[in-house]
Amino acid sequence: MSENEQKQDVEAATPKPGILKKTIVMVGMMGAGKTAVGRALAARLDVPFLDSDHEIEAAANMTIPEIFERDGVEYFRKKESQVISRLLAEERGVLSTGGGAFLSEENREIIKENGVSVWLQADLEVTWNRVKHRNTRPLLRTDNPRKTLSELYDARVPMYAKADLHVPSDGQVTIEEMVDRALQALKNRPDVLEWT
């Protein structure tokens, strides 16, 4: 049997993800890969990819840093909750949320009722290496962004740990391998994803 035939046999024996019953909500720190992994997961499942930050920017016709600067964090968090609630009600798919979205008890409850939360569990160094060269993170516009990120990380990890599923990311795997890890975690959730 050729290597290609063996690969086809393995693929045939592996169940394929089928019908999505609830929205998969990606949560975690900025730089954890929520958008990249979420987009690839949605493509693999052939479902819509939704991004709460993008939807907020489109509705406001402003970037998130501009919203933070003009209206403040509280206003942004209120709009974020409204958008997440709307997206969960309107369409089933994979939803990427901002790093602070899951901190809100209201958001966690909305997500639990209408979807399943998947924490992309990246450590501090992985997230720092991904965000340190970008100036699009309003919370890191401080004198010491590395220290700020560390403080955010320490404060947020206990909230992320409340997610339904945890998918570790060591920063050494590809996006497709992260999708495989997420699907593996979802195998025990037939209420979310029906396998064929």
Binding site: what residues are annotated? 31-36, 53, 77, 99, 137, 156
For 185, other C-beta atoms within 10 Å of its C-beta total 18
Q: How many CA atoms lie within 13 Å of 18's alpha carbon, on the beta-carbon side?
A: 8
Which amino acid is residue 186, in one-letter code?
Answer: L
Which residues line the annotated binding site for substrate?
Answer: 53, 77, 99, 156
| Known binding positions for ATP | 31-36, 137
Task: Give the closest residue to 80 by CA, choosing from 61, 62, 107, 58.
Answer: 107
What are the beta bridge partners of residue 50?
95
34-45 and 175-186 helices, crossing angle to 10°: 70
- Contacts (Cβ under 8 Å, ≥6 apart) of 26: 34, 35, 37, 38, 41, 94, 95, 96, 97, 118, 120
Q: Which residues are annotated as a binding site for Mg(2+)?
A: 35
